[in-house]
Structure 1
Amino acid sequence: MNLLKSMGTIGGLTMVSRVFGFAREMLMSRIMGASGAADAFLVAFRLPNTFRRLFGEGAFSAGFVPLFSQRFHGPGGMEEAKRFSEEVLAFFVPALLVFTAIFEVAMPLFVWAIASGYADEPEKFALTVFLSRITFLYLLLISLVSFFSGILNSLTKFAAAAFAPALLNVAMLIALLVVPTGGERSATALAVGVTAGGVLQLLLLWNSARKAGVSLTLRRPKMTPDVRQFFVVVIPATLGAGVYQISQLIDTFFATRLPEGSMSYLNYSDRLNQLPLSVIGTALGTAILPHISRFISQDNPGEAAKVQGQAVDLSMLLCLPAAIALGVAAPPLVAALFQGGRFTAYDAMVTGNVLALIASGLPAYVLVKVITPGFYARKDTKTPVKTAAIVLIANVVLNFALIPPFGIYGLAMAISACSWLNAIMLYVILSRRGHFRIEGWLWSRIGRQLLSGLVMAAALWGTRSLLGDWFAGSVGQRMIGVVALCGVGGFVYFATAFVVGGIDRNAILILLRKKKAV
């Protein structure tokens, strides 16, 4: 398997989406600021995203991709895989329609449950409910997108699914450009943009699946043996994802009880943290799941473990410097990207501090994405449920302990700590079962990558000190300062990693020789 190529396809197109996402967030911060309307929209946007990850992406992929791959690579080939897909879709669509209808009716109650801090502000609460009813339609659309993404990923056709999120960001950008007044009007336009983006994503993925030879017919629901097997796998995965998403809703609950703007600070810091998480962690997790599933179905656990080892090596090579750089350069980075208009210097300062704390858990976030396929490929979706339940309890305890003295910073500390707890537990369990262990050479490689990151941190700190006035200057000066930080940090890290052996030098030299031969 060409892991680097698969990860490059997914990560590169994810980066395109993230660029549009940053443009959207930069414009939104200036138009909306850290206002009550911005907080209301962010709560409304978090609701469908939470259930999307619960039903659409994590749980569905965990259950669907290994089973689809098993049939596709089995004697029945594409015909059996298509039949299986139609049988699952027959249950998936009605369930989504019923679930969406229930929440549209009960939305005030649900918003009160997760954002009761807004109940004392009737106008803000009513706006949050109104926006949530618009954005919740996105759940139906994006869950179907995830269904077709699972089919394409199983066929190792990653491009369309990786690019699809860019359409959501484009739709929201257009909404802001059409209604740039701020307040409730811009928040409503953003909510409409979310649903419009979901329509565009679904059209893209449906058409891509059709071109790949997977044209599906909607059948009447029928409980076949294959559907039973799917539910046996996907229900525990849904429970596991549900525990994690409840943790996210708990974070929302606490954030809505903090001073106005806290949801905005959490959103903008998470946006920057999500860039390496999506480009590295999600891309690698998506790329390796079908391949690990194939090796497991072929009774070749050695190759499956090798794939995971390569993924850990590559993920740490890329995410360790990202985490360290975000920790060192968070304040100027946030100021350069988001400060301006209604988003003040104080807002940028708080967001930067929150980002630095959340980014300390970035390597753990990425490791979870890389380790979890080791369970899902073996159709073990119960173990992640158990670890997620422990993490949920720890999250609640840490929030109650850290938020009173530290406010929004305590919330960020709890998020980071729980990510490390989850990653460590998953790795220990997988290792004790003999499925995957980080061997000596890989520990040594990670240690050298960490050393390279510390050298980079010193270079970044020096560059930040030299360009201190630039980060307090005009937008252009701030952007130039950020480019300088990225350039210096990237050069120092990869140069040091190459010298000390943090990179597989032989692979790099082979790659360079291939390019010269071309």
Structure 2
Amino acid sequence: MTDREQSPPAPVDESDKAVAPKAAGLMRSGLVVGAMTLLSRVLGLARDVVIAALFGAGQGADAFFVAFKIPNFLRRLFAEGAFNQAFVPVLSEAATRGSRREVRELLDAVAGSLAAVLALITALAMLAAPWLVWVFAPGFGRDPEKLALTADMLRLTFPYLLLISLTAFAGSTLNTWNRFAVPAFTPVLLNLSLIGAALALTPLFEEPALALAWGVLIAGVAQLAFQVPFLARLGLLPRPWPDFAHAGVRRILALMAPALFGVSVSQINLLLDTVLASLLAAGSVSWLYYSDRLVELPLGVFGIAIGTVILPALSRRHAEQSREHFSAMLDWAIRSVLLLGLPAALALAVLAEPLLITLFHYGAMTEHDIAMAAMSLRAYALGLVAFMLIKVLAPGFFARQDTKTPVKVGILAMVANMVFNLILIWPLAHAGLALATALSAFLNAGLLGWLLKKQGVLVFQPGWRRYGVQLLGGCTVMGVGVGWLAPAWSEWLGWSVWMRAGWLSALVVTGAAVYFAWLATFGVRLRHFRMKS
């Protein structure tokens, strides 16, 4: 797998020569990450369909979902959140200012320390599996057989935390050297492993769902093994050796502490929203889940992709003390997010019912469910641009090794979210919870942007007024056109799946064509979004 953004492989010697990565095209890198993320999301949907078809909602499926949820929760909390935010800036600084030997020593110490801590946690978790299951799913305690099955599965799935954390370490290193395609493709292997295990290994077990637990373990090994050759090609494959006294390891741990707290705050926020939704009418949790799944698609493909490629680039500019280029990159990221986020949010709002019908209106999903989920989808769509802005503004702090400020802003946003929840839940029910999330996201993004501007880190480049008018015009024409062409959603209910998919595809393609044709007519060009890292 290759990217145009790849620079020639660095030499593998242990000289004192600096090993700073060469510049890469940020837009191209973002498109690569976005495309891989889209592939992963599509395969994730296929995975869910296969698991639902083979295992339904029985005891085995329940046991697997809990056994996978525990290491997966810790992965989101630790590997892909706090560790990445702390590790990339420190590694970028070492690559920019230090020698090859210093970079290798940092990689060896971090890999060894990370592996040692997680190996100990994994061993303890496997020994304490029944108690962990009871903590995360106390209701299973009433069924000893179900509890034992889940504990057996957890002993297979928990090593995934160790493997995926080392994979995150490898992926963060590759991202720092502008190799974005490999880490972005890696999550696809989890979905392929689970689909393959469900189809091929199920007949081998007395309890068929055990095949899924083995699929998770196989995926962890495959994801780590997939990235190792690319690290070796760069001459950056570490020789793990725990060294908690290493200055780089100590700095990463210091930066991780507030970042861990920040990720925890986000998870608590989601939990509280779910608790409130569970107190509303039956189906409220599901309506929010389905609408959130649709918002996550453009957020992952656009917002998270740009946030992924900009963090190592900003970290290098900070290490080089290139303040002007740092600010220009943030401005570019905001422009890019608005270019894609505004029409995506508008499309979700205009096509809410057709999207939900095409994807979910099968079996037990009723017309009432569609109407209710569409309400929360429109509320979430209102906040989509804010969700994306958070993903590109927060790296402006992380790259400068400031993990405390985004946490403080996140706590304020969480408190605001709870206040909005209590105000909006009464008149708008579940849609009020979605709207509260959107409003708190705007508060979060606004505070991050204001602080970056106040600190002189974010300086808006010329041309914003003209750009805003261009985007507003394009979105208006697209929204009016798609809304006029789309049949009433009641008609969609009687169509076959292929007719629904065909109409939806035609509307999306037409809307995109109208939007970008308008921008091109009024002077927006691709070259305006070229930015080197």
2:107 partner letter: S
Following TM superposition, by how much is the alpha carbon of 1:82 offset from its aligned partner in structure 2, in angstroms?
1.9
After TM superposition, the structure 1 stretch with the greater mean CA deviation from structure 2, 272-281 or 403-412, is 403-412
Aligned to 2:44: 21
Q: Give 5+ residue unaligned stretches, structure 1.
A: 512-518
Whether 1:65 and 2:73 are equivalent positions in the alignment is: no
The residue identity in structure 2 corresponding to 1:167 is L
Query: 2:154 matched to 1:154?
Result: no
Pairwise CA distance, 1:304: 0.8
Q: Which residue is 1:477 aligned to? A: 499
Q: What is the match of residue 113 of structure 2?
A: 91
Deviation, 1:382, is 1.0
Quick one: distance in 2 between partners of 1:420 and 1:32?
40
Asked if residue 415 in structure 1 is aligned to residue 432 in structure 2, the reply is no
Where do residues 418-433 of structure 1 align in structure 2 (5 Å cutoff)? 418-433=440-455
Is 2:393 aligned against 1:371?
yes
**Offset from partner CA, 1:489-516 (integer Å, 9 cap, x none):** 1112112222344x336649x99xxxxx
**Mapped partners of 2:468, 2:374: distance in 1:** 27
Q: Conserved in 1, the CA contact under 8 Å of 2:116 and 2:242?
A: no
Q: Is 1:209 aligned to 2:235, yes or no?
A: no
TM-score by length of 1: 0.85
Alignment partner of 1:76 is 2:88: no
Q: Name the % identity.
A: 36
Query: Structure 2 CA distance, aligned partners of 1:339 and 1:179?
Result: 31
In structure 2, C-alpha distance between the alignment counterparts of 1:322 and 1:148, rounded to whole Å: 32
Give 2:330's aligned residue. Answer: 308
How far 1:218 moved relative to its partner?
Answer: 2.2
**CA offset at residue 178 of structure 1?**
5.6
Q: Greater helix percent: which structure? A: 1
User: What are the superposed Cα offsets for residues 186-233 of structure 1, whole Å, 9 maximum, x if unpaired?
Assistant: 876555544433332122123322233222222144412222222222
Specify whether residues 460 and 483 from structure 1 end up closer, same or farther in structure 2 by C-alpha distance, changes over 3 A only.
Answer: same
String of CA shifts for 1:396-415, please: whole Å, max 9, x gaps: 34444444664443332232
Given the superposition, is the C-alpha separation of residues 479 and 362 from structure 1 closer, same or farther in structure 2, using an over 3 Å criterion?
A: same
Deviation at 1:100, TM superposition (A): 4.0
Q: Secondary structure at the match of 1:340?
A: coil
Which residue of structure 1 lines up, in the alignment, with residue 525 of structure 2?
504
Deviation of 1:134 after TM superposition, in Å, equals 5.7
Structure 2: give runs of 5+ residues left out of the alignment.
1-23
CA distance in 2, matches of 1:29, 1:344: 19
- Of the structure 1 ranges 460-469 and 323-332, higher mean CA displacement relative to structure 2 is found in 460-469
Does residue 51 (structure 1) correspond to residue 79 (structure 2)? The answer is no
Of stretches 161-170 and 134-143 in structure 1, the one that deviates more from structure 2 is 134-143
Counterpart CA distance in 2 for 1:362 and 1:311 is 15
CA drift of 1:92 comes to 1.2
How far did residue 357 of structure 1 move?
A: 2.3
- Relative to structure 1, the CA distance from residue 470 to residue 240 in structure 2 (aligned partners, 3 Å threshold; closer, same or farther) is closer
Once the two structures are superposed, residues 440-499 of structure 1 have per-residue CA deviations (whole angstroms, 9 ceiling, x without a partner) of 523542343133223222222222226852453111111112111211211121122223
Aligned equivalents of 2:432, 2:133: Cα separation in 1: 23
Listed as ranges, the matches of 1:242-257 within 5 Å are 242-255=264-277
1:315 is aligned with what amino acid?
V
2:300 maps to: 278
- Cα shift at 1:290: 1.6
- Secondary structure of the residue aligned to 2:337 is helix
Alpha-carbon distance in 2 for matches of 1:167, 1:157: 18
**1: distance between equivalents of 2:426 and 2:280?**
10
Count of residue correspondences? 505
- What residue is the counterpart of 1:455 in the other structure? 477
Change (3 A) 1:404 1:74: same
SS at match of 2:486: helix
Alignment correspondent of 1:357: 379
Q: How far 1:358 moved relative to its partner? A: 1.9
3-state secondary structure, aligned to 1:469 = helix
Q: Residue 22 of structure 1 aligns to which amino acid in structure 2? A: L
What TM-score results when the alignment is normalised by the length of structure 2? 0.83
Alpha-carbon distance between aligned partners in 2 of 1:378 and 1:95, rounded to the nearest angstrom:
26
1:515: which partner in 2? none
Change (3 A) 1:85 1:110: same
Paired residue type of 1:421: L
Of 253, 272, 275 in structure 2, the residue corresponding to residue 231 of structure 1 is 253
Matched, 1:385 2:418: no
> How far 1:316 sits from its partner (Å)?
1.0
- 1:291 partnered with 2:291: no
Equivalent position SS for 1:472: coil
Give the Å deviation of 1:348: 4.6
Q: Is residue 273–residue 433 contact of structure 2 (8 Å, CA) maintained in 1?
A: yes
Contact 2:96/2:320 (<8 A) preserved: no
